[in-house]
Structure 1
């Protein structure tokens, strides 16, 4: 995601003609977009994205179970 943010920032700076970016060719600004697309393709193909989603889901389930256990413990008479 950070590569996409860099690409968008460079595009805006080039469009507004800020700094040394005015001398760059528009083709150089396509490189970060290409790298972003390549990374997303690799991440989807390799299963990296799916593993991240599954890890987040697992952590969410564990937190929910722990909250329920804590709520049950607080109801016990002492």
Structure 2
């Protein structure tokens, strides 16, 4: 996400000829987009994205369980 934001800002600055970016090559300005594509390809191929999704769902499940235990007046499990 950060690479996309950097790319969009750089693209806008290059197009509007603002600051030092106006003198940079288009390859440098567009490189954050290529890096973002590479990051997404790696994250999907390695399972990084799926693992983060599973962790997020497990945390939500545990939070739900804890909330129900508190509502029933039960003590939380000790880890």
Is TM (by shorter chain) over 0.5? Answer: yes
Pick the TM interval, shorter chain: 0.7 to 0.9
Per the alignment, residue 7 of structure 1 pairs with 7
Per the alignment, residue 50 of structure 1 pairs with 50
Q: TM-score, normalised by structure 1?
A: 0.88
Give aligned pairs, total.
74
| Unpaired segments ≥5 residues, structure 1 | none
Q: Which runs of 4+ in 1 moved over 3 A?
A: none
| Unpaired segments ≥5 residues, structure 2 | 75-79
- For CA contacts below 8 A with separation 6 or more, give which structure has more relative contact order: 1
CA distance in 2, matches of 1:22, 1:3: 19
Over aligned residue pairs, what C-alpha RMSD do you find? 1.2
Query: Which has a greater percent of helix?
Result: 1
Q: CA deviation at 1:14?
A: 1.1
Q: TM-score, normalised by structure 2?
A: 0.87
Q: CA deviation at 1:55?
A: 0.3
